[in-house]
Structures are given as C-alpha cells and as structure tokens.
Structure 1
Amino acid sequence: MTEHLLLLAGAGLAAGAMNALAGGGSFVTLPALIAAGVPSVAANASSTVALYPGGLASAWVYRQGLAEVCGVPIRPMLIVTLVGGLAGSLLLLWTPSSTFDVILPWLLLAATLALAFGPRIAPWLQQHARLGAAPILAIQFALGVYGGYFGGAVGLMMMAAWSLLAGVDLKQLNPPRTLMVSAANSVAVLCFVVAGAVRWRETLLLAAGAVVGGYLGAHLGRRLDPRVVRSATIALSVAMTVAFFVRAARG
C-alpha cells in the first residue's frame, strides 16, 4: 500500500512537469493508477481530475504568452474546446471499462504518431492546405472531444495539430495549449465528480505532486531547447504505448 502511495505521488510530480513542458502527463499517471488497482475508466477520470490543478498552475505561468492559434482568436477556440470536452467526458462515462481497455492503446498510438510525424507532414500541409477559421474550429472541437474522453496526451494532440497548420515551434504553442487543455478538463472534471467516477485518495496524491510539478515545469519550459523536450516526450510516449498494447494482448 505504501509503495502505491509513493508511486502515485511521484507520478503526479513527473506528470505535472511533463504537461507544463509539452503534454503527455497521463502517460505517467494513468499507468500508475492502473498499477494501484484502479479500473481503467475510473483511472482515466481520476487522472484527469488529478492533473487539473497542475494544468491551471501552468496556464497561470504562461498567461502572458497567450495569442491566437492558427490565425483564430483565443475566445472561439476556447468555446469549442469547452463544448467538445463536455461531449467527450459524457462519452467516457458511458463506455464500459472492458471496452476502454481495448480502445486505450490505440488512443495512445494516435497521439504518439501525431507527435512523432507531425513536423514532417507540416511543410506539405501548409503548402497545399489553406484552412479558414471554420475548419480549424471543427478540428479544435474534435480535440476537445478527445480531451474530455481520453485526457491522455490531449496536449500532445493539440500541439501536433497546431504545428501542422501553423508551422511554429513548441514553445510558442505552450501558452494556448495549457489554456485549451485546462478548458477541456474543466467540464470533464465537473462531469466525473458529479458521476462519482473519481477515486479520491489516489487522485489527491497525484494532484499534490502535479501542482508542484506543473509550476516548476512551466518555468523550466521557458529555458529548455524545444527539441530536447520533444525527443523526451516522444520516447516516453512510445514506451507507454507499447506497454499498453502488451497489457491489452495479455487480456
């Protein structure tokens, strides 16, 4: 029991820092919760709630760097993210844990592929596609649904999608990413708490570490080379994706 508590506290600290740097904190917290014996749907809901305060801490640090995303102002992006987050969180609550166990590795794989290969596709896409505000808002709505449903790596998915469309580096995308992830998580957290899907003891341990990690990570993110952040995040994403495919294969 003590080992599980230490594992969760450490996972929260690491995840909070990861989310502040580039996203992907759920690659740490979700396995930690499942290892502590929490069913997958409850683990996903608890992970979202636990990382929420840390995300807010990071958003506060980044607040002065907020700017439009892919040429679209922050306010409409925020609105569609909130609506998408609500739809996704309700969908998660209606998904049986056995079904989510099958879906989970594929969600992780999608996030990892988008992060790993997005920069290679970006130049071609930016040359051949000129998306207006409506398609970009539709993409952001889908990302909000993804964030509310899965939560894991939604920050990575947003960074990957935006970098494809806008061609800017990760540091420039960090401020709007932290805001949009917090927005999607706000409605998800409310739904999960009302539905009684949160395992509070484990969640509070993760949250305490995530607040500290999120604050420190946001300050560190201002100094680190984006290439280092990106490489480390991809490496962890690949490792966790493989681990969850192995887990699913073993039943």
Structure 2
Amino acid sequence: MIDFLILIAAAFGAGVLNTIAGGGTFLTFPALVLTGVPPVAANATSAVAVFPGYLGGALGFRAELAQIARPRLLRLTLITLAGGALGSGLLLISSNDVFAAIVPFLLLAATLIFLFGDGLRDWAARHARGVTPEGAAGLFAVAVYGGYFNGGLGIVLLALFALWGFRDLHMMNGLKNGLSFALSAISVGIFALAGLVYWPQAAVMMVAAIAGGYAGAPIARALPRAMVRGLIAIVGFGMSAVFFWQWLGG
C-alpha cells in the first residue's frame, strides 16, 4: 500500500509538472525504481503512465495541428514512429545493469536540457537560416532517444522545430504533443508485447497523472514559472545524484 501511495503521489506530481512545464519523468521513473521495479521495466511502465497526457495535449492544440498539411504531418509522424520503434527496441535488448549505468547520464542530460531549454530553442532559432527544413535525420535521432528514454523529449523537439524555422509556438507545441503521442503509442505497444509493463502500477499511475494534469492548470496560473523550473531542476539533479550513487555502488 505504501508503494502504491508513492506511485500515486509521483504520478499526480508528474501530471502537474507536465501541464506546467514538463519534467514528469523525473518523478515517475525514480518512484517506480524506488518501489522495486527493475530499471528497464520502470522506464517502460513510466512511459505508459504518462502516455494519456500527450493525447490530451494534442487534442488541446488540434486547431494548430489542422494548419499543417496532412501529407507533411503524415511524413513527420512516420519518421517519428520509425525512430521511436528503434529506440524502444534498443531498450528491449538492454539489460538492467546496462540501463542502470546509462540512466544517471540520461537523467542528468535531460535535466540540463530542461533547465537550458529556452536558450537551446533561441540558439536553434538563430541558426535556422540556411538549414534544410524538416530534415528526417534530426527527427529520427530525437525519436530514437524518445523511444529509449523520453526525459526532456519535449524540449528537444521544440528546439528542433525552431531549427527548422518554425515561429508559431502554439503550432510547435501542438506538433510536439502530436508527435510525442505517436512516439509513445508505438513505444507502449512494443513494451506491452514484450511484457515489460507492470500493469497494476501503470493503471494507477495513469489515473493519478490525468488528475494531476487537470490540477496543473490552476497551479500553472498561480506559481511563477521560475519557481516551477527551479523545483524541476532540483528534482532532476537530485535523482541524477541518487542514480549515480547507486551505480557507483553506494
């Protein structure tokens, strides 16, 4: 019962964070590991737990998504599905020991990406001139990362869109949520078929994450953005330190 309370609290907090600024993976993944789920299965179960939120986000920006030509949106979605499938496949062949060794670095990188995401997007926007629009290789690489470990995925996608020359932030957010949903869908399907998902934990966390997503809207309006970013950074760096300590045999 204590384990499930921890998972409910983590998933609710993740729903709130994802609505406000992103970073929910920093709560769901460590909570699953803390409650005894092996690292690879914890990553898969965490992906299932936050999965519904992407659909809600995509539907919320459906008007902006409708402005993108269907052939263009289909091409981007197919690239994302291919990269997500490869990344998820790489997770399947990763042992718990190998993944546990990689996780601290992934968490640290995701935290840094989140913390400096605005600067990353600004840099991408400044260097957009002369860049071939919508290069398949860049999106495919980001999707592989997202299929393997989706921490910080949203920020990387927004930076990529800025590099392509996108300027409408609402359209960028809509496309980010739409592609994230597609990526998560293929990942969840692969993880489920492989038997990696701890379904009782995933089901409880999905409900809590949806509730947290609804609660996040008024909280987002009440809290200063800098405070939220600071809290997520503390959680991200703290979890990175814990996993580094465990990896080093602490």
Distance in 1, matches of 2:178 and 2:121, equals 23
How far residue 202 of structure 1 moved from its aligned partner, in angstroms, is 1.2
SS of match in other structure, 1:152: coil
Alignment of 1:68-217 (within 5 A): 73-120=72-119, 122-130=121-129, 131-135=131-135, 137-163=136-162, 166=165, 173-217=172-216
- 2:236 corresponds to which letter in structure 1? S
How far residue 152 of structure 1 moved from its aligned partner, in angstroms, is 2.7
Q: Could you say what the CA RMSD is over the residues aligned between the two structures, in angstroms?
A: 3.0
Deviation larger for 187-196 or 160-169: 160-169
Unaligned runs of 5+ in 2: none
How far residue 201 of structure 1 moved from its aligned partner, in angstroms, is 1.4
How far residue 124 of structure 1 moved from its aligned partner, in angstroms, is 4.9
How far residue 192 of structure 1 moved from its aligned partner, in angstroms, is 0.7
- 2:105 corresponds to which letter in structure 1? W
Distance in 1, matches of 2:217 and 2:55, equals 11
Count of residue pairs brought into register by the alignment: 247
SS of match in other structure, 1:250: coil
Instruction: Tell me the TM-score normalised to structure 1 length.
Output: 0.84
Distance in 1, matches of 2:62 and 2:94, equals 35
Partner of 1:14: 13
Task: Give the percent of matched residue pairs that are identical in Structure 1 and Structure 2.
Answer: 38
Distance in 2, matches of 1:66 and 1:221, equals 23
Distance in 1, matches of 2:110 and 2:43, equals 16
Q: Deviations over 1:119-176 (max 9, x none)?
A: 33555554445322243x3211111111111123322332344456658697664322
- In structure 2, relative to structure 1, the CA distance for the partners of 1:176 and 1:128 (3 Å cut) is closer
Distance in 2, matches of 1:14 and 1:106, equals 23
Distance in 1, matches of 2:196 and 2:213, equals 24
- In structure 2, relative to structure 1, the CA distance for the partners of 1:66 and 1:102 (3 Å cut) is same
Partner of 2:247: 248
Distance in 2, matches of 1:68 and 1:246, equals 47
- In structure 2, relative to structure 1, the CA distance for the partners of 1:118 and 1:153 (3 Å cut) is closer
- 2:107 corresponds to which letter in structure 1? L
Q: Is the 8 A contact 1:57 1:215 kept in 2?
A: no
How far residue 228 of structure 1 moved from its aligned partner, in angstroms, is 5.2
- In structure 2, relative to structure 1, the CA distance for the partners of 1:87 and 1:41 (3 Å cut) is same
Partner of 2:63: 64
Partner of 1:43: 42
- In structure 2, relative to structure 1, the CA distance for the partners of 1:40 and 1:103 (3 Å cut) is same
- In structure 2, relative to structure 1, the CA distance for the partners of 1:125 and 1:10 (3 Å cut) is closer
Q: Is the 8 A contact 2:147 2:184 kept in 1?
A: yes
Distance in 1, matches of 2:73 and 2:229, equals 24
SS of match in other structure, 1:208: helix
Deviation larger for 195-204 or 233-242: 233-242
- In structure 2, relative to structure 1, the CA distance for the partners of 1:184 and 1:65 (3 Å cut) is same
Deviation larger for 32-41 or 168-177: 168-177
- 1:132 corresponds to which letter in structure 2? T
Deviation larger for 6-15 or 36-45: 6-15
Q: Deviations over 1:78-105 (max 9, x none)?
A: 2211111111111101110100000111
Distance in 1, matches of 2:222 and 2:73, equals 25
Instruction: Tell me the TM-score normalised to structure 2 length.
Output: 0.84
How far residue 239 of structure 1 moved from its aligned partner, in angstroms, is 2.7
Deviation larger for 73-82 or 10-19: 73-82
